[in-house]
Amino acid sequence: MLRFFAKYKFFAVFLFVLSAIIITIIYNVLKPEERLPVYQPNMVSTELVDSTMQEVRKYHTIADFKLVNQNGDTITQEFYRDKIYVADFFFTTCQTICPIMTDHMLKIQEKLKDDPNVLLLSHSVIPVADSVPQLKKYALEKGVNDEKWNLVTGDKKQIYDLARKSYLAAKSQGDAGPFDMIHTENFVLVDRQKRIRGFYDGTDPDAIEDLLHDIQILEKE
């Protein structure tokens, strides 16, 4: 009996390895490829979307912009050409959700510091107060990497139009005065074609892990 098993040992091992390979191939073929949705304005809560955009069902992209960052440099879509990026809205003197959001942006910055394909973009919702020097001070205090992360200020109407018409991430149209600062905790994931591919709670550590995972999916597209 032992001779019988010894004789066919190699064959049995071969069959086992072959079976494992076949099972792995079948699993990979049948397993659906992870793919992120492409968000349109009609898929998002109406309170976050400008009334002129709420019925848009396709072809939505982030509009062109021209803002100024913490170094006084003009930032446009050109800076983010062919890049994946994470956008949010904040203000430097915020004492509620913004510090948590900034800490999580710093975590993303650290995790992806060696990845040239992913950038960050934070818009001030109180641009009249968040001047270039104020943004620079904030950036230095927090440890912002200027090559990867822009903190931007500029025309308030442009910023709020971006928030509600492009990023779909603000609860106010910005028309209640200079300190109208109603914005969400959302981090918005934007792909290389300027399309929204995800929304994440910028105050939730688990959501940040989801965001990092989804960035990996986008990089494979």
Residue type at 195 in one-letter notation: R
**For 46-62, how does the pLDDT look when each residue is reduced to its tens digit (9 = 90+)?**
989 989 999 999 999 99
pLDDT on residue 179: 46
Residues 141-167: b if buried by 16+ CB within 10 A, e if exposed: ebebeeebbbbbbbebebbbbbbbbbb
**For 162-220, how does the pLDDT look when each residue is reduced to its tens digit (9 = 90+)?**
999 999 988 765 554 444 546 789 999 999 999 999 999 999 999 999 999 999 999 99
CA 58 to the chain's CA centroid: 20
Q: How far apart are CA 68 and CA 99, in angstroms?
A: 21
**For 126-174, how does the pLDDT look when each residue is reduced to its tens digit (9 = 90+)?**
999 999 999 999 999 999 999 999 999 999 999 999 999 999 988 765 5
Residue 103's closest CA among 90, 116, 114, 115?
90
Tokens found for residue 13: 């091992």
pLDDT on residue 30: 55
pLDDT on residue 5: 46
Burial degree of 179 (CB within 10 A; 0-12, 13-18, 19+)? exposed
